[in-house]
Amino acid sequence: DAGVIQSPRHEVTEMGQEVTLRCKPISGHNSLFWYRQTMMRGLELLIYFNNNVPIDDSGMPEDRFSAKMPNASFSTLKIQPSEPRDSAVYFCASSAFTVLSNQPQHFGDGTRLSIL
Amino acid sequence: GENVEQHPSTLSVQEGDSAVIKCTYSDSASNYFPWYKQELGKGPQLIIDIRSNVGEKKDQRIAVTLNKTAKHFSLHITETQPEDSAVYFCAANAGGTSYGKLTFGQGTILTVHP
């Protein structure tokens, strides 16, 4: 079975440019999570969706960050304009949540973002 | 909200020894506790999980214990091997309707010396 697929794997761009990160969750999963990982702050939850609806975006650092989930098989995280402090590894994860039982989150291999 | 503390931050053992990583959580409504292993350049991978109706769970060389009263849970790796070297994260779900949201510990860098 295909896991969570993220693209691109690496992105290097100049400050001020728009960056779009993409995620394809595991088929059948109904919750999707975006994380940012840095040495200083560890693994931070940015935003998560359930059934394509954003549930909690309180982790999004600034208005420069936005995320969408137009359908069950695709999500994007956009940074506009990008800044050097946005450099990090961004992970997408998905899970098959039910009210009766928590299910594990499955992570993609991340996008390593470098803003020059 | 939920707070998860993880210790130690680094752990160095000799091959064949056991390794133990401990986590505490704050939300008494949490009922799901997964452990993840992250290797260099990869995303975190689930290695074992435990639910609040169980006190211990084993899978070959790894085991997890849960003490709900004390709000702590631990990962035990026996007969460690060099390939166990990685960063390990514990996590706990948020109580209530959280759609599977997890709060992660800060991570433990495990090094197994041959």
Answer whether A104 touches B (CB < 8 Å). yes
Q: Quick one: average pLDDT of B12-39?
A: 95
pLDDT band at B96 (very low <50, low <70, confident <90, very high): low
Q: What's the confidence (pLDDT) of residue A11?
A: 96
| Contact call for B43 and A99, based on CB within 8 A | no
Within B1-114, residue ranges assigned H as helices are none
pLDDT at A4 > cutoff 80 = yes
Stretch B25-36: mean pLDDT, rounded? 92
Closest CA to B6 of B111, B107, B110, B109: B107
Q: What is the pLDDT of residues A36-77, one digit of tens each?
A: 999 888 899 999 999 999 999 999 988 999 999 999 999 999
User: What pLDDT sits at residue B8?
Assistant: 97
A31 part of contact set with chain B, CB < 8 Å: yes
**Is residue A101 predicted with pLDDT exceeding 80?**
no
With pLDDT > 90 as the criterion, what percentage of chain A qualifies?
85
Tokens of B82: 């060099």
For residue B100, give the nearest of A31, A42, A110 by CB distance. A31
Residue A1 predicted with pLDDT over 70: no
Task: Assess A70–B contact: CB distance below 8 Å, yes or no.
Answer: no
Q: Answer whether residue A99 shows pLDDT above 70.
A: yes
Token pair listed for A103: 């299910």
Q: Do A105 and B31 touch (CB under 8 A)?
A: no
Are A107 and B44 in contact (CB < 8 Å)? yes
Count of pairs with CB atoms under 8 A, one residue in A, one in B: 56
Residue B97 has a pLDDT of 60
